[in-house]
Amino acid sequence: MHPMMNVAIKAARSAGNIINRASLNLERLQVARKQQNDFVTEVDRAAEYAVIEVLKESYPKHHIFAEESGYLNAEGEHLGVISWDEVVRLQQEDSEEHFLWVIDPIDGTTNFIHGFPQFAVSIALFVNGVVQQGVIYDPTRDELFTATKGAGSYLNHRRLRVGTQLKLNDCLIGTGFPYRDDQDIDHYLQLFKTMSKSCAGLRRPGAASLDLAYVAAGRLDGFFEGDLKPWDMAAGVLLIQEAGGLVGQYDGEEGYFSSGQIMAANPKIFAQMAQTFSKF
């Protein structure tokens, strides 16, 4: 196993331990609202700190981009929560080989707050702009999804492959509903209606990173959602690619880290989903 993967796993499990302890006493959680239907707890912050502490202990000169802390450069300067395009620009200004860890300490905070057991820690490593390592850890089930570029995807050391369905109407598809006021829910509902008529079933568990991991594991045959952040997607993207799947925007093209719009499936279903969304 790659040494950076070992460190990422250590970080994910450290955060998972904090989350599991907190889940035993949810009534004591201190919850703050970042914006409409977007919450943060002291557990999110503690888990993120634990991840960053483990990563920085081994790689003090690596850059960090995390949901709660924002961007932390190699010199330890906090630049706040900035756009992905700005992160890319900062990385490209670095003339040396650059390493960027992208972290979501609890993907599915709303689920966590309510004791709904569908949330995860997501950690990805970009090297010179390319995702090289990905870890998604489900602490409630002790399921560890890992991927290293060129070396495959795994669930607790078992090799993963995407599903083998050939027709979209036989597929179980995951999705995520718009939850903020500034999102176009009417457009999404049209997509939802069209896809619900085109597949065997739609599911919305509420943690995009796990949904993507489930596509890599063949538990879901595909997934689509808009307005995600890089920390929601990065590790899951690598998991799917290393499990033989495709990832793109609704039109099948790249650019999902900037746009936040993502679609994933095995190659045949991916093409059929793109054809279905082409009407929009």
Q: What is the DSSP string of 2-59?
A: -HHHHHHHHHHHHHHHHHHHHHTTGGG--EEEEETTEEEEHHHHHHHHHHHHHHHHH-
Confidence at residue 240, expressed as pLDDT on a 0 to 100 scale? 98
What residue spans define the domains of the chain?
A: 3-159, 168-277
CB 175 within 8 A of CB 195: yes
Instruction: Examine domains 3-159 and 168-277 and report if their fold is the same.
Output: no
Confidence at residue 37, expressed as pLDDT on a 0 to 100 scale? 44
pLDDT in tens, 212-232: 999 999 999 999 999 999 999
Confidence at residue 200, expressed as pLDDT on a 0 to 100 scale? 97
**CA 14, 16, 20 angle in degrees (round to 5)?**
125
Instruction: For residues 126 and 231, give the distance between their C-alpha atoms in angstroms, rounded to a whole number.
Output: 11
pLDDT below 50 — which residues of the chain? 37
Going by their DSSP bridges, the two strands 222-225 and 172-175 should be labelled as parallel
CATH 3.90.1580.10 assigned to 168-277: no
Going by their DSSP bridges, the two strands 143-148 and 130-138 should be labelled as antiparallel
Radius of gyration of the chain (CA): 18
pLDDT in tens, 35-86: 554 557 899 999 999 999 999 999 999 999 999 999 998 888 898 889 999 9
CATH topology for the 3-159 domain: Fructose-1,6-Bisphosphatase; Chain A, domain 1 (3.30.540)
Instruction: For residues 114 and 42, give the distance between their C-alpha atoms in angstroms, rounded to a whole number.
Output: 15
